[in-house]
Amino acid sequence: MSYAKSKFRHPNLEVNDIGLTYRDYEGVVSTLCAGCGHDSISASIIHACAELSIPPHKIAKMSGIGCSSKAPNYFLNRSHGFNSVHGRMPSVTTGANLANKDLCYLAMSGDGDTASIGLGQFAHVIRRRLDMVYLVANNGVYGLTKGQLAATSDKGAKNKAGEISPFNEIDLCVMALQLGASFVARCFSGDRKQLVSILKAAICHQGFAFIDIISPCVTFNNQANSKRSYDYVQQHVSTGAVSDFVPVKDEISCDLPSGNYHDICLHDGSLIRLYKVAKDYRSDDKLHAVNMIEAHKAKQQILTGLFYVNPAIDTYHEVNQTSDTPLNQLREDALCPGQRVLKSINGSFR
């Protein structure tokens, strides 16, 4: 068993704007099952962060419990991280974000951690409009406890042990749309190109960004009758529009593509560029998005891509008019201004 990757690198490896290669954004070698979709997600995160040239120390990886929540160990070794209690990652992230809003919060959760034990926390963090990227590695089973069906499994789905799901599934994208997430997308771990560009857009988006990532469990949910297997997803995946991410620095220099495309400008000036846009595609209408998701499901198809984005929404800090300087950078005299100020506050209530 190999515990380490060779330090040798390809001589032509690209260096980003801050002098790092993607390999500087790697973590330790994964201990997840060989072929796990989560490893593809880790790789996509590594490439997205490297391509955006984010200094690794400006990122915090947040997670709960599960295979998905182990994954942050396998990317961004030089970033901050907090592996929290099962389903409680949103609260911990809220606390961290209140203390230091300057970091990019990359949260990695799973179907159990989000759709079961953490559903309440999930709902509230969306409602709170916290500026974060919330990723769910969704494989439809509890892999870490040997493959019991998760709440995101379709009604009638059968797991490897033959157990059948008697209940309707929770569609996390639909929930996120309904609860006010300002960036909602669904991706497939096996479609690297789409995942990396949507991840980059989500990181640049100011506000709550949610990506549900279908990530096959090779050990417990990759059997022939599974609807979350590599084969099934590859055959039933469909995309509303092919998205590409155009960073601010490239906008002027890059040639405009020929043919049909549609740009969405994000808060920081970067663009999401959509190609091969389907006739009925819209990215600014929640109701339309929900309809499209359900319509595809009815056709036994899995719709992926960017469902909804609102680049202009106020986030938690703006709504609550918090201090411009992150709390962790305020000095003691500002945080605790003393008796005189307390007296004047109290005086204002008299």
Query: Considering only 63-71, 91-99, 215-223, 338-346, which stretch makes contact with another protein by CB under 8 A?
Result: 215-223
Which CB sits closer to another protein, 118 or 216? 216
Q: Which of residues 225-244 bind another protein (CB under 8 A)?
A: 230-231, 234
Residue 109: phi and psi, rounded to 5, are -135, 175
- φ, ψ (nearest 5 deg) of residue 79: -105, 170
DSSP 3-state of 303? strand
Q: Supply angle C-alpha 21, 306, 279, rounded to 5.
A: 130
Rule CB under 8 A: choose which of 190, 242, 277, 297 binds another protein. 190
**Tokens at residue 158, please?**
């059968």
Tokens 């999401």, residue located: 272
Work out whether 127 is an interface residue with another protein (CB under 8 A): no
Instruction: Tell me how crowded residue 103 is: count the other CB atoms within 10 A of its CB.
Output: 19
Q: Is 5 in the site for another protein (CB under 8 A)?
A: yes
Cα gap 96→327, rounded to integer Å: 10
Using CA atoms, how far apart are residues 327 and 307, in angstroms rounded to an integer? Answer: 34
Kindly indicate which of the ranges 11-19, 244-252, 258-266, 312-320 contains the residues binding another protein, using the contact rule CB under 8 A: 11-19
Give the Cα separation of 261 and 9 in Å (integer).
Answer: 37
Q: Does 4 bind another protein (CB under 8 A)?
A: yes
218 binds another protein (CB under 8 A): yes
What is the C-alpha separation between 36 and 47, in angstroms, rounded? 18
**Segment contacting another protein (CB under 8 A): 25-33, 83-91, 139-147, 294-302?**
25-33
Binding mask 310-349 for another protein (x = CB under 8 A): ----------------------------------------
Q: CB of residue 46 vs another protein: minimum separation in angstroms?
A: 8
**Which residues lie near another protein (CB under 8 A)?**
1-2, 4-14, 23, 29-30, 33-37, 39-40, 42-43, 190, 192, 216, 218, 222, 230-231, 234
